[in-house]
Structure 1
Amino acid sequence: MAYQIFINLVIAFAWMLFSNSPVGFNNFLVGYVIGILILLFFRRFLRSDFYMRRVWASMKLAFLFIMELIKANIDVLRVVLKPKLDNKPGIVAVPTKLTTDWEITLLAALISLTPGTLSMDFSKDGKHIYVHALDISNKEQMIRDIQESFERAIMEVTR
């Protein structure tokens, strides 16, 4: 992947330097897009996946986190503004298919950064993350939501 980024940057700088236009960011951007198109055209000759796939997956993960952050803030606001406290806090063991330390740490960080939830600990084998939640009405649904949103998006970025 780093090789593809390097090739793309070389193409962008070459475009910027050898075109008749003045050297500038706009000219570099045009060269970068041309480099992406060239790499896309020759992707079957590359050793690894096309690197823009991971860039796109990273942008989707960031957008997913922002949407989950907004929804969680609304849920916490709803709990705080209720006149009667009838929430059910609890701790849930969330099983994960993530294998590397980096992936598990990213999942735990995304869970902790979302209001109303906190990653507390990991199991010794690294297959579960213990999550404290402000309101757990359905444990299975909460586990499914984490697995289908954050975990799947992290796997798209890293694999």
Structure 2
Amino acid sequence: MAFQVMLNFILALVWMFLSSNFTAAGFLVGFILGVILIIIMRRFFTTRLYLARVWAIIKLTLIFLKELILANIQVLKVVLRPELDMQPAFFAYPTVLTRDWEITLLSSLITLTPGTVVVHVSDDAKVLYVHAIDIGDVDEAIAAIRDSFEKAILEVSKS
């Protein structure tokens, strides 16, 4: 991936020098032409195109923002209820993520979402222990994390 990014920047700079256009617009045109050339030459690369990973990162960011807004609304509803009818719980979340940065990212995304906190990661890093402020169904919460954050992290990290 890093090679493709560097190649794209080098192609953009070469375009700037060939066209004698040393502006941001000249660089942008060169960058777009570089992307087109990299797409054309994709069969020569052993890894997937870096644009796929960039798109996966953008999708992960959008998923996090959506979950952040929904969790804020849910916590606001819990706080504004006249009677505290919460069902706080600890639950174990088994993960299929293997790399340390993936597990750290998943833990951070869960913790940054209001109403949930990762309190411990097992020694073998296969289980995250999560506290939720108000949870109705543990299996539903596990499925929600797996289908949103974990799936998006796997898409970002695949080669």
Give the TM-score normalised by the residue count of structure 2.
Answer: 0.97
Secondary structure (helix, strand or coil) at the match of 2:135 reads: coil
Could you tell me how far 1:11 is from its partner in structure 2?
A: 0.5
Structure 1, unaligned stretches of length 5 or more? none
What does residue 10 of structure 1 align with? 10
Structure 2, unaligned stretches of length 5 or more? none
1:157 and 2:156 matched: yes
Could you tell me how far 1:75 is from its partner in structure 2?
A: 0.2
Residue 2 of structure 1 aligns with an amino acid whose one-letter code is: A
What does residue 27 of structure 1 align with? 26
Could you tell me how far 1:89 is from its partner in structure 2?
A: 0.4
* Larger mean Cα displacement after TM superposition, 40-49 or 70-79: 40-49
Could you tell me how far 1:123 is from its partner in structure 2?
A: 1.2
What does residue 108 of structure 2 align with? 109
What does residue 71 of structure 1 align with? 70
In structure 1, distance between residues paired with 2:23 and 2:76? 47
Could you tell me how far 1:44 is from its partner in structure 2?
A: 0.7
In structure 2, distance between residues paired with 1:26 and 1:71? 39
Secondary structure (helix, strand or coil) at the match of 2:125 reads: coil
State the Cα deviation string for residues 75-121 of structure 1 (Å, max 9, x = none).
00000000011110010100100001110000000000000000100
Residue 135 of structure 2 aligns with an amino acid whose one-letter code is: I
- Determine what percentage of the aligned residue pairs are the same residue: 48
What does residue 53 of structure 1 align with? 52
Could you tell me how far 1:23 is from its partner in structure 2?
A: 1.1
Q: CA RMSD in A?
A: 0.8
Residue 37 of structure 2 aligns with an amino acid whose one-letter code is: I
Secondary structure (helix, strand or coil) at the match of 1:29 reads: helix
Count the aligned residue pairs. 158
What does residue 80 of structure 1 align with? 79
Residue 84 of structure 2 aligns with an amino acid whose one-letter code is: L
- Spell out structure 1 runs of 4+ moving beyond 2 A: none
In structure 1, distance between residues paired with 2:156 and 2:32? 21
In structure 1, distance between residues paired with 2:36 and 2:4? 12
